[in-house]
Amino acid sequence: MSELTDHDWMQIEQAAAGCVSGTSDDWPDLVVAIEKVRGRKLNHKSAAWLHGYCEGLLEFKDAMKDTIACWKRTRILGVSASLACEGNVSVPLLRAFDEIREALEPKK
């Protein structure tokens, strides 16, 4: 998802808001953005599919932001989770961040 440009995100946000009709053939810029995310060619899809897929992408993006913010506040800043974490936080992802941090810390 790091390859997505501001234009790509704008296409995704518009589709998630329901601003699509017809099929994927009518939305070439949106198709390019989705293909970047999926890493493969997008076959002919309905507007309903495009809308739902883009809603899911935005939910995923928000969950990633919430989880990273929670990890930073609790692990680095020392704030309690009840005060620091809000939104859609992924506990498995928090644990993965802990494992990465542990692996990167210098051995004593």
Q: Which residue type does 13 have?
A: E
pLDDT tens track for 29-56: 999 999 999 999 999 999 999 999 999 9
Q: Which DSSP category does 46 fall into?
A: B
Question: pLDDT band for position 2 (50/70/90)?
Answer: confident
pLDDT tens track for 4-15: 999 999 999 999
What whole-number distance in Å separates Cα of residue 74 and Cα of residue 5? 30
